[in-house]
Structure 1
């Protein structure tokens, strides 16, 4: 059996959260390694749909230590620009990323943490889980979902509106991905956008800059939650589609072979259904207790085992921690706590 490789801190996940952790681990002088299941840098950003734009200008979309450069001709950068930025960031700070490497499970002992991976075993004193949600798309068990004979896909598999030109498409989901994909399709297809509850747009002048400031105030326990204000950022394409007639309809009661049907007997023939219904945390088995799929944390630190931290999973692991600019704050705190544990 090959002997386990040794490092002080093992980071599982090489997207934006893992890189932010790597930046602070490097500054702290700790020995660490980052495992990434992808074959190339960029995290989940390399898989997003073509028309996606950041909510914030480049100046408000940076990881710690390295400003994001402006993208030529774009006030709000696209996903390809973010991928390039993350690849350059990884190279600039010489972060030790091993890829492709899949973590299979973590064994917790008094002598350390043993992580079994596709590249062999690792022994570490501390562990940072930064795997995100992208690998676990969630599709609800809607009545009749298996009866529908048209095309079905999730946000995870959507790339562009081109393949839906002239079709009738149902978009399910009242969050940002649902609104943005419905707006994207609205240019070339007949769209029926359906939401579980009334679609709530944030004020049109709110973008990622304001969202980060609101999240910062929440950290200081001084101000409203973002969810108190709305669920959907009214990006320029979403505003344009809304002005052109895109509206949200109530959720259907079931799917039939030909499309959705509502409880009042209304039906709508459709060629495709796109489920913009979110993701679940992609967590490596650690033996830690889970509550509704989440590991209980105090900040980013696992309540049951202080050697394990979770980064970048959304408000669960820190306000705005699933954003480029927001993850740095929680990454810094996690590394400070890990460093204190090592002394």
Structure 2
């Protein structure tokens, strides 16, 4: 049996909940299909020591401030999970889980969403699957021949079991710096970055990053010169654990190695470092395989969007995938505005 809704939202993380909040306010019938068994989206799978870049009040979804976490200026991931769980319950958002979306198809006036629990039919679809589920690993020579243990950001949890090990952490962004700081005290750490790490000023947090991303988008939209956005400020937010490890001289980065050996890594000058474990903090790609049946990708594999609405299928919106689909839309504070605009555009479509 095919179930129906005016709008199907794919993904029950922060972007999906923000979309649900605004759809509810406009009186639009919708359902949220979430592949996870419990609320919290990707936050329930993040490494244990991670903290937000901003205080709770500046890390909130629309309509509901995140309460402060006792004893913490910057809330941890578990606090975010609890907040998202409460948010979903507070607004009685219609989340079906666990439901895995297999594909989205055109079906006349509707979009058909095929799932492992049966099909749905909708006038519009909002995809909010994010990037966590599609980790990126670079094509470094020798990587597959490494005889040690390889992790990615998505599979790293804590230093437990890694004490005394020879660890190579690859990546000069926030995840690389935070995981390197996590491991800097009790392992033989080698931190490797593509370029020298750029730490933001210690007084800059997520509030300033959101403002910078928004100012860049407004400048581009109005035809003014590119402000550079967040990238102009640096790559790494100096959250307290990173700042402490850096100030103690424990976060000294080496340039990127040229190849992986069975027992370590090697640079172009022949220098080698032994390794038991390599942790690849090398980013993600949008998790959009469920949209393959729509054939929206261009020659370079990119899906063209106007705001969050896909150009070649105006009944489909992409929300929460970063600046590509809205300034800072991959953040808690940043997703609210593009979620609101998405709901308004869908309301116009339904009319």
Could you tell me the TM-score, scaled by structure 2's length? 0.95
In 2, Cα distance between equivalents of 1:213 and 1:317: 16
| 1:153 correspondence with 2:161 | no
Q: Secondary structure at the match of 1:307?
A: strand
Q: Secondary structure at the match of 1:62?
A: coil
Which of 242, 251, 255 is 1:250 aligned to?
A: 255
Q: Secondary structure at the match of 2:236?
A: coil
Aligned to 1:304: 312
Which of 233, 245, 250 is 1:229 aligned to?
A: 233
Q: Secondary structure at the match of 1:25?
A: helix
Deviation at 1:224, TM superposition (A): 3.9
Aligned residues: CA RMSD? 1.1
Q: Secondary structure at the match of 1:159?
A: coil
Aligned to 2:337: 329
In 2, Cα distance between equivalents of 1:230 and 1:296: 28
Aligned to 1:241: 245
Deviation at 1:216, TM superposition (A): 2.4
Deviation at 1:334, TM superposition (A): 0.4
Deviation at 1:131, TM superposition (A): 0.5
Deviation at 1:196, TM superposition (A): 1.4
Deviation at 1:140, TM superposition (A): 1.2
Aligned to 1:200: 198
Aligned to 2:297: 290
Q: Within 5 Å, which residues of 2 pair with 1:96-115?
A: 96-115=94-113
Deviation at 1:61, TM superposition (A): 0.4
Deviation at 1:235, TM superposition (A): 1.1
Q: Secondary structure at the match of 1:162?
A: coil
In 1, Cα distance between equivalents of 2:342 and 2:319: 8
Deviation at 1:210, TM superposition (A): 0.8
Deviation at 1:294, TM superposition (A): 3.5
Aligned to 1:181: 179
Unaligned runs of 5+ in 1: none
Aligned to 1:54: 52
Q: Secondary structure at the match of 1:220?
A: helix
| 1:70 correspondence with 2:75 | no
Aligned to 1:38: 36
Q: Secondary structure at the match of 1:10?
A: strand
The 8 Å contact of residues 288 and 295 in structure 1, kept in 2 or not, is answered as: no
In 2, Cα distance between equivalents of 1:216 and 1:257: 45
The 8 Å contact of residues 281 and 294 in structure 1, kept in 2 or not, is answered as: no
The 8 Å contact of residues 281 and 293 in structure 1, kept in 2 or not, is answered as: no
Q: Which runs of 4+ in 1 moved over 2 A?
A: 291-294
The 8 Å contact of residues 288 and 304 in structure 1, kept in 2 or not, is answered as: no
| 1:319 correspondence with 2:323 | no
Aligned length: 341
Aligned to 2:274: 269
Aligned to 1:259: 264
Deviation at 1:293, TM superposition (A): 4.2
Could you tell me the TM-score, scaled by structure 1's length? 0.97
In 1, Cα distance between equivalents of 2:327 and 2:148: 39
1:197-231 Cα distance to aligned partner (Å, 9 max, x none)? 22222222110011112122223327441112211
